[in-house]
Structure 1
Amino acid sequence: MSWHFTEDTAAFRTAAGTHLAAEPARNTAVLTLMDGAARLGWWAEPDGRVTGVLALSSSGALDLGATTVEAALALALPAGEEPTGVRGETAAVEAYAKASGRPWTPTVRMRLFRLGEPTPPDPAPAGRHRTATGADVPLVAAWTREFATAIGDEPAEDYTGFVTERISEGRLVLWETPDGRAVSMAAVSRTIEGQARVHLVYTPPADRGHGYAAGVTDAVGRVAAATGATRVVLFTDLANPTSNALYQRLGYRPVTDHLGVEFTGTAR
């Protein structure tokens, strides 16, 4: 049993493809990040079965896919690549963090949901959804910065490229009021292994309480399904009971709980 590492996405797919395809929801973060990851890894059992996968970003953030506790306990990244933090299923993250010998602190507790039978919001919010266009880039970039701050991330200086990519590929949806004013947004990842992940769901504070987030989330899930996704997933912050209840009303069902931790020092 051992971990194997590569910078080659094709090699990673060849080695871990069966595992990724068997558990696409639980592997959603790795599937989404693998094309741009600085390091990819997989844990192989004696019989060759892969029972753990990871993606390490250039910033030092580590994401674990569906990974056994045994694999997490044995994880040792190449020298000089110790992560700044790790996210993944709670048991695996706790096992890795404790085994690392480094001090750490939880940063977020999340729940992964998968869309079952889509259920439109009732009552429906006023207005309609539309696909964002190039003219929306400045607004969406500003909202993305606000979103990052709201969830406790350090916002980037400029999100123009980030949102332009999503808008140019038709993966970002806005909700607008009957008079044409944009009031909420949601994006969806590229479809990989038949699966897409909803993210970047945001309504500015002044426009909350009108059901716009429900409308745009329902819409972007349907957009993903209409463009080839057979599974749609999303993460919620467990500290936000409002969003957890909202997504379940829209037809999302819990899959597994996740934990994010930040390392605050070196191994003792």
Structure 2
Amino acid sequence: MASVSIGADAEEFWRLAGAWLVAEPVLHSVLLTTVERERRGGSGGVFALLTEDGGAGPAGVAVWTPPFRAYVSAAPADAELLALALLDSSPEITGVTGGSDEAAAFARAWTGRTGGTATVAMNQRLFELSAVVPPPRPAPGVARLAGPGDRELLVAWTVAFEQESNAAPGASVAERVVDLMLADGRAWLWDDDGPACFVGVSPTVAAVARVAPVYTPPQRRRRGYASALVAAVSQAVLDAGARRCALYTDLANPTANHVYTALGYRPVADVTAYEFGPAQGVG
């Protein structure tokens, strides 16, 4: 038999689940950076930990930090148990992200219990890189770290990125994310007669850093800026001590998937994000 414990103590969750998460640091990159942020004083996360009776450690986890979707990592049957436990404690969760099979199982259990809906918000692919392949064609311009004077632009571009990727937690969250990136030197711009592309990167946790967001405004696309800047940022992260870089792509965007593969990124897993809705005729 398996059991699920729910808590709000990030430090205790890390004590119990940290080694399990670190064992697969690319697959668990989002969870690792989320838990690290919460340990340093985040937005008030909810942590679900599944253990098998008599087992030596975790068998699955799910973490929810509002206003984002929950993130699950577990075998599909265990993901269903995590979903039902979180539904009892946090029924206001608005969606889930995770490996495609486990996210589908979580969503299925959630909607089966609530009678609500689960709609695919995005089908993604997780990639990893350990050595950068230079872009096949150079782009005009140069990479630079963003500074305080770029804040307004980066917030606007972060909101635009979230809208395009169907994440959109809101401008206030975008401001917080940008402020943290600027404070830590994790926001980059490609300049070609002014800013042309924005790439952010997560803190490095368990020797893995995640590249996100990657945003080029529509009028400046198809000029190689994103490829050049992702390559530059990935190399900078590796030079600073990370062993691997991770990033997510939208499977509906074959151009982006080709661009990142050409830079040396290799697929790890398919990931699906779901949005939850109320039962028909409710709310």
Deviation at 1:8, TM superposition (A): 1.1
Aligned-residue sequence identity (percent) comes to 34
Deviation at 1:9, TM superposition (A): 1.3
Query: How well do the aligned residues superpose, as a CA RMSD in angstroms?
Result: 1.9
Change (3 A) 1:263 1:217: same
Q: Which moved more, 1:232-241 or 1:258-267?
A: 258-267
| 1:69 pairs with 2:85 | no
- In structure 2, C-alpha distance between the alignment counterparts of 1:79 and 1:95, rounded to whole Å: 17
- In structure 2, C-alpha distance between the alignment counterparts of 1:94 and 1:185, rounded to whole Å: 32
Contact kept, 8 Å, 1:104 with 1:265, in 2: the verdict is no
Deviation at 1:119, TM superposition (A): 0.6
- In structure 2, C-alpha distance between the alignment counterparts of 1:78 and 1:110, rounded to whole Å: 25
The one-letter code matched in structure 1 to 2:201 is V
- In structure 2, C-alpha distance between the alignment counterparts of 1:160 and 1:30, rounded to whole Å: 21
Question: Which protein has the bigger helix share?
Answer: 2
| 1:59 pairs with 2:72 | no
Q: Which moved more, 1:29-38 or 1:18-27?
A: 29-38
Could you tell me which residue of structure 2 aligns to residue 251 of structure 1? Answer: 264
Q: Mind listing any 5+ residue stretches in structure 2 that lack a counterpart?
A: none
User: 1:189-268 maps to which residues of 2 (within 5 A)?
Assistant: 189-266=202-279
| 1:174 pairs with 2:189 | yes
Change (3 A) 1:173 1:93: same
Specify the SS of the correspondent of 2:86.
coil
Contact kept, 8 Å, 1:109 with 1:237, in 2: the verdict is yes
Specify the SS of the correspondent of 1:108.
strand
Specify the SS of the correspondent of 1:79.
helix
> Alignment length, in residue pairs?
265
The TM-score normalised by the length of structure 2 is 0.88
Contact kept, 8 Å, 1:116 with 1:253, in 2: the verdict is no
- In structure 1, C-alpha distance between the alignment counterparts of 2:234 and 2:30, rounded to whole Å: 17
The TM-score normalised by the length of structure 1 is 0.92
| 1:50 pairs with 2:50 | no
Q: Which moved more, 1:251-260 or 1:16-25?
A: 16-25
- In structure 2, C-alpha distance between the alignment counterparts of 1:150 and 1:95, rounded to whole Å: 26
Contact kept, 8 Å, 2:45 with 2:66, in 1: the verdict is yes
2:175 to 160, 176, 194: 160
